[in-house]
């Protein structure tokens, strides 16, 4: 999963990026190139599994983050800047919600920039596809139809995500990197004395997200950046003193999972325990393919149980004895929280 962090200049994007990536990436301050890194996703269930199964390694799911340079309103190099996130799965718009701020104006300005950038792409694409469609190319005709509908929305100053799109339409939107069609997570960057997002500014962001088919989280990027530099024990102590349950990447990643329609399954053995994100309701062979294409190709069955069974019964042996270990075939729909061992032959 890849997320593009966007926002106007000075809203705290790069500070959030350093927090999410635990300062493991040397950021380029003032550069027009994006910062790119990997964030490990905190997972309470993954941590709890280790209480019952001892493994040599524990590997959390990860989130790839792309931190764009701050977008100046009406900037002449806007398309160059935004081109770096045309292929990401979701957008994370950081909104300043402390000191002298105007979240309504900032969101409106950023959304307008994305709409303008998409219009430039769509107008050129319609031109090209229309020329091909004249010769009877059905794929080109389909592209013209979808792009024309996108253009209508953009001209009405509405994001493409407000359109009604089927699976093939979405594939076309993705192929052109239409940014306003991507799921949007709004991050209210709050002050240290408002970590729960109780200010009017943070509440505005939450309400706006809810009314515009998005998600929102409140984060103090400065505080999170400081926390990410500490070891685990010191992190827990600082989080507790601030009334925060976990680092920001946890709720942020879960909000993105919901937006993208993702769930998580686990593999657990003596060598490693690992979390794997997959599309919600994915069939078992597709889930197996996330681990390795050979497992999907030679899929026989999935032996699985739910993490809640492990937490209540304490061991895999007890799970078997209680009849909770299931053997599922190719038509099985994966459930969030499944612990799976895939059997395959190639």
How many H helices and E strands in the chain? 14, 12
pLDDT of residue 69: 78
Q: Which CATH number fits domain 1-263: 3.40.1350.10, 3.40.50.300, 3.40.640.10, 1.10.8.60?
A: 3.40.50.300
Dump pLDDT digits (tens) for 265-277.
Answer: 999 999 999 999 9
What is the per-residue pLDDT for 134? Answer: 86
The predicted model scores a pTM of 0.85
Q: Is the dihedral of CA 211, 213, 219, 222 positive or negative?
A: negative
pLDDT attached to residue 96: 96
pLDDT of res. 234: 86
Comparing 335 with 136, the larger pLDDT belongs to 335
Q: Give mean pLDDT, residues 297-320.
A: 96
Kindly indicate the confidence band of residue 73, based on its pLDDT and cuts at 50, 70 and 90.
Answer: low
Residues 6+ apart with CB under 8 A from 73: 8, 109, 113
User: Is the pLDDT assigned to residue 345 strictly greater than 90?
Assistant: yes
- Cα–Cα distance for residue pair 92/67, rounded to 1 Å: 10
Closest CA to 283 of 235, 228, 318, 328: 328
In the chain, what are the domain boundaries?
1-263, 281-344
pLDDT value of residue 238? 84
pLDDT at 210 over 80: yes
Lowest mean pLDDT among 103-117, 190-204, 236-250: 236-250
Residue 240 has pLDDT above 60, yes or no: yes
Burial status of residue 156 (CB atoms within 10 A of its CB: 0-12, 13-18, 19 or more): exposed
Kindly state the tokens that stand for 163.
Answer: 């359109």
Q: Which two tokens stand for residue 294?
A: 């050979």
Q: Which of 268, 265, 255, 307 is nearest to 290 (CA)?
A: 265
Tell me: pLDDT of 76 over 70.
no
pLDDT at 230 over 90: no
The residues, ordered by sequence, that sit 6+ positions from 261 with a Cβ below 8 Å of its Cβ are 279, 280
Residue range 281-344, CATH number: 3.10.20.30
- Give the number of other Cβ atoms within 10 Å of residue 18's Cβ: 23
Q: What pLDDT score does 78 carry?
A: 63
């Amino acid at each position: 999963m890849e997320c593009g962090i966007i926002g106007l200049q000075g809203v705290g994007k790069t500070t959030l990026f350093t927090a999410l990536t635990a300062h493991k990436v040397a950021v380029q301050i003032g550069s027009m190139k994006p910062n790119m890194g990997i964030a490990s996703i905190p997972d309470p269930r993954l941590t709890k599994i280790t209480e019952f199964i001892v493994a040599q390694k524990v590997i959390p799911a990860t989130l790839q983050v792309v931190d764009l340079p701050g977008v100046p309103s009406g900037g002449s190099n806007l398309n160059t800047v935004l081109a770096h996130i045309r292929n990401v799965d979701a957008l994370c718009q950081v909104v300043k919600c402390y000191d002298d701020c105007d979240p309504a104006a900032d969101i409106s300005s950023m959304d307008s920039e994305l709409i303008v950038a998409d219009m430039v792409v769509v107008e050129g694409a319609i031109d090209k596809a229309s020329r091909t469609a004249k010769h009877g190319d059905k794929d080109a005709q389909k592209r013209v139809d979808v792009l024309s509908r996108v253009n209508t929305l953009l001209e009405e100053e509405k994001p493409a995500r407000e359109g009604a799109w089927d699976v093939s339409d979405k594939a076309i939107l993705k192929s052109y990197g239409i940014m306003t069609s991507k799921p949007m997570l709004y991050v209210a960057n709050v002050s240290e004395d408002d970590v729960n997002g109780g200010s009017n500014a943070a509440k505005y962001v939450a309400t706006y997200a809810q009314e515009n088919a998005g998600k929102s989280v409140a984060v103090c990027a400065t505080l999170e950046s400081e926390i990410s530099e500490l070891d685990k024990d010191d992190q827990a102590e600082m989080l507790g003193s601030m009334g925060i349950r976990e680092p920001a990447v946890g709720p942020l990643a879960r909000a993105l999972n919901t937006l993208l329609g993702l769930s998580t399954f686990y593999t657990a053995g003596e060598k490693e325990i690992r979390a794997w994100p997959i599309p919600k309701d994915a069939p078992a062979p597709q889930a197996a393919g996330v681990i390795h294409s050979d497992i999907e190709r030679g899929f026989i069955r999935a032996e699985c149980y739910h993490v809640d069974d492990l937490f209540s019964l304490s061991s895999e042996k007890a799970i078997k004895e209680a009849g909770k270990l299931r053997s599922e075939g190719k038509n099985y729909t994966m459930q969030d929280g499944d612990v799976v061992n895939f059997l395959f032959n190639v």
